[in-house]
Chains A and B, each alone.
Chain A
Amino acid sequence: MDDSTPASVQNGMDVDTPPSVTSTPAVFSLDSETFKKIHPTEYHRRFLSQGVRPDGRTLSRFRKAKITVGAITTAHGSAMARLGETTVVCGIKAEITEPKTGAPRDGFIVPNFDLPPLCSPQFKPGPPSELSQSISEYINRVLESSKLLNLSDLCIEEGRAVWVLYADIVCLNYEGNAMDAAMLALVAALKHVRLPTATFYEADNAVRVKEQRTIPLKLSRTPISVTFGVFDGQFILADPDIEEEPHLSSQLTVIIEQNGGLCGMLKPGGSALGQETLTSCLEAARTRATHILGILEGALAER
């Protein structure tokens, strides 16, 4: 990325030599690293206007996704998802609790997404950031409203004991697009969950749990999150990474399931997005979801 502005600055050491001797005029130029630091948005704009992104991807190309299930042996279900270098692990811990009186057969699922200081210098220790809280909340809404899990499947004894699934989703390495990675890790972990047989004994008012974990969860669908970034309101970038995120004018997340049905759409502000753009994003999301589902099936079959 050269800036071809001729420099009018004369080097102080060259005072002895007459200017006529230097045949090539001094040209002010910046190497790409410096240019990126000084004009980060312009740096990206020049790449995108050529139809390519700084990391070599085309605009519509997603990063490589990788899923590993069963990474945490002590958890009832676990998975690790990677999108490029973004790494997220999800561990699901099942505990026994009393149900709410209003819904005596319903268990609970509590997703919690965390972006610890470990994963990127942009996150500081202390209470969870706005980003991680809103991702937690949105994931929770998607789980609830898409009826992914029949909560009465988590019943052990009506009105006395139910399972509560604590889904802790932790980002280990943040390279952008936390939402997709978090959702992917969560769904993979939920598919990996094996609950032990639990029986409620009225006599001593306690639940006994068998050693073996055998019962899988019945998931009604497999929602896949696909995020797009919008740059300058015109370039649609699939799966934006950490370098692109601060320069995006807007982001769009599509939660789509295997048959093309939608479980959620999230566009948290930013520049306006027209109907045609939405349609093309939905189309791209569907293709991506099919691809991700293949990887997910593969990862689950490998076990």
Chain B
Amino acid sequence: MTQRTRPDKRHSPNEMRPFYCSSALLSRADGSVRFKSGDSAVMCSVFGPMEVKLRDEKLDKAVVEVIFKTAAGMTTTKERMYERIIRQTLEASILSGLHPRTSIRVTLQVLTDDGGILSTALNAATLALVDAGIPLRSLAASVTCMIDDTGELLLDPTAIELERSASVHTFAFDNVSEGTLANMSTGLFTVDEYMRCYETCRLAAVSVQQLFRTSSEGKVRREYG
């Protein structure tokens, strides 16, 4: 494998960008998190369980609303697709049956986008749900990877690297089940390449899960001593 340095000075194609999170930043929100992965950053706030609009009310579970806002400009179809993917992924993790006839609103605000924004947003949303104390079945961790025009797999690509992509794959994995919660792949790729990306992202998701764990432990220590 070529030891080429990546544009943001990472040494290995299998290396993720440094990621970190800071929580409880907003006083009005029930839970809030800023999640940074390299130069991609998303701010997420969670409100709820709170009152639900009569029209959306579900008798047996909480309604999950996701709002995705870009750093600048209008909301386009891209954001609506991200909202759908994130909402359906979170719905699988949230124990919504515990809060019937309520609404849980997750608002995601992109601060900077340097590639892999869907993954960053999904990770931010999961952590914000933890921060808000919403009962969860599992934690969804998301990782993006791409295959470049030479066939090399690059984990967690930046916007510059994405320009040379033959295919881009975003996966979400949780910490309890075997298998992927969400996946969006585009570009041209073979089944073998897809499975390689799946495996790489699955392993990388473990390190994101570790961050979730450290962050939750820190929160418990802060709040309960």
Interface residues, chain A, CB within 8 Å of chain B? 130-131, 133-134, 136-138, 140-142, 144-147, 249-250, 260-275, 277-279, 282
Contact = CB atoms under 8 A, between A and B. Distances in A.
B191 A134 contact: no
Interface stretch (B26-34, B44-52, B74-82): B74-82
B189 A269 contact: no
A270 B92 contact: yes
A262 B85 contact: no
Interface in B65-120: 76-78, 80-81, 83-92
Nearest to A147: B188
Contacts of B183: 265-267
Given A130-B80, A262-B190, A267-B183, 13 more contacts: A136-B77, A137-B81, A145-B186, A145-B188, A147-B188, A262-B185, A265-B183, A267-B181, A269-B84, A269-B182, A272-B180, A273-B180, A278-B195
B195 to A, nearest CB: 7
Contacts of A282: 191
14 contacts: A134-B77, A134-B81, A134-B84, A145-B187, A249-B92, A262-B191, A267-B184, A268-B85, A269-B91, A269-B181, A272-B179, A273-B180, A274-B179, A278-B195
A145 B89 CA distance: 24
B84 A263 contact: no
A125 to B, nearest CB: 15
A279 B168 CA distance: 19
Contacts of B150: none
A21 B189 CA distance: 74
Interface hub of B89, B177, B184 (most chain A Cβ within 10 A): B184
A9 B25 CA distance: 59
A267 B188 contact: no
A268 B190 CA distance: 21
Contacts of A130: 80, 83-84
A278 B77 CA distance: 27
